[in-house]
Amino acid sequence: MKAKSGYASNPAEHAGNTIEALRNAAMDCRACPLWERATQTVFGEGPSGAPVMLVGEQPGDQEDIAGRPFVGPAGHLLTRALAAAGIPRERVYITNAVKHFKFELRGKRRMHKKPVDAEIAACHDWLKREIELVAPRLIVAMGATAVRSVLGRAAPIMGSRGKLTEYASGIALLITVHPSFLLRVPEQDKDDEYDRFLDDIKLAKSFVR
């Protein structure tokens, strides 16, 4: 994503050549104001060299506290779909386009707030370096924010989902919905939407040996 964030530059480019070094550097990221209210940076997790990288939007309330991506309700759905597709979660690298939790307070509850383009752009270099260092053979972009960061532009999720395309030489791209979408659809559509998501995730299986 080449878009300018308007914030100070992101330090990812000079943050070392291993995922661990990158993760450590990201802990102090001040590239946009989201760090101020978040508990911590929630960096990606999984083996470097993982064949598949899953990209979400941003940590939620539980991820912000745990310091790990996709451990809340959306994470449970994702983990369930991975297992149903025969993909062990620990074999893939799971990360987010934005590494700090953005929220608004409603009473005592911290309600998720969608990151704006400038925040996605400010965080983009972390994702770019994660892709370089993990070097996956498939990137799964889940939802609009992930697509925006991975492609550097918006793309219609429903029109693009479930098809393997090329991200870069030797790296395929799969677009699908964000698992939290499955939590929001009306009750009567939940099973069908989960099945569609599972069909998409199953396409990743052939990349995991």
Binding piece for ligand URA, criterion CB under 6 A, among 71-79, 83-91, 124-132, 168-176: 71-79
- Stretch 154-193 residues interacting with ligand URA (CB under 6 A): 180
User: Contacting ligand URA (CB under 6 A), which of 43, 70, 167, 197?
Assistant: 70
User: Contacting ligand URA (CB under 6 A), which of 44, 46, 51, 72?
Assistant: 72
Minimum gap (Å) between residue 58 Cβ and ligand URA: 6
Give the chain's largest Cα–Cα span: 49
Extended beta strands in the chain, E state? 52-56, 93-96, 103-106, 109-112, 138-142, 164-168, 171-176
Minimum gap (Å) between residue 136 Cβ and ligand URA: 17
Let me know how long the chain is: 209
Q: Which amino acid, residue 82? A: L
User: Contacting ligand URA (CB under 6 A), which of 34, 50, 53, 74?
Assistant: 74
Cα–Cα distance for residue pair 176/141, rounded to 1 Å = 6
Residue 56 makes contact with ligand URA by CB under 6 A: yes
Residue 38 makes contact with ligand URA by CB under 6 A: no
Q: Which of 121, 132, 209, 145 is nearest to 171 (CA)?
A: 132
Residue 69 makes contact with ligand URA by CB under 6 A: yes
Q: How many CA atoms lie less than 13 Å away from 199 in the CB half-sphere? A: 9
Q: Which of 63, 55, 16 is nearest to 141 (CA)?
A: 55
Tokens encoding 55: 């990209």
Minimum gap (Å) between residue 97 Cβ and ligand URA: 8
Element spanning 209, H or E = none
Minimum gap (Å) between residue 181 Cβ and ligand URA: 10
Nearest CB to ligand URA, comparing residues 74 and 174: 74
Residue 115 makes contact with ligand URA by CB under 6 A: no
Residue 96 makes contact with ligand URA by CB under 6 A: yes
1 to each of 25, 110, 111, 151, 189, how far by Cα in Å? 20, 29, 27, 7, 34
Q: Name the residue number minimizing CB distance to ligand URA.
A: 56
Number of residues that bind ligand URA (CB under 6 A): 13
Binding site for ligand URA (CB under 6 A): 56-60, 63, 69-70, 72, 74-75, 96, 180
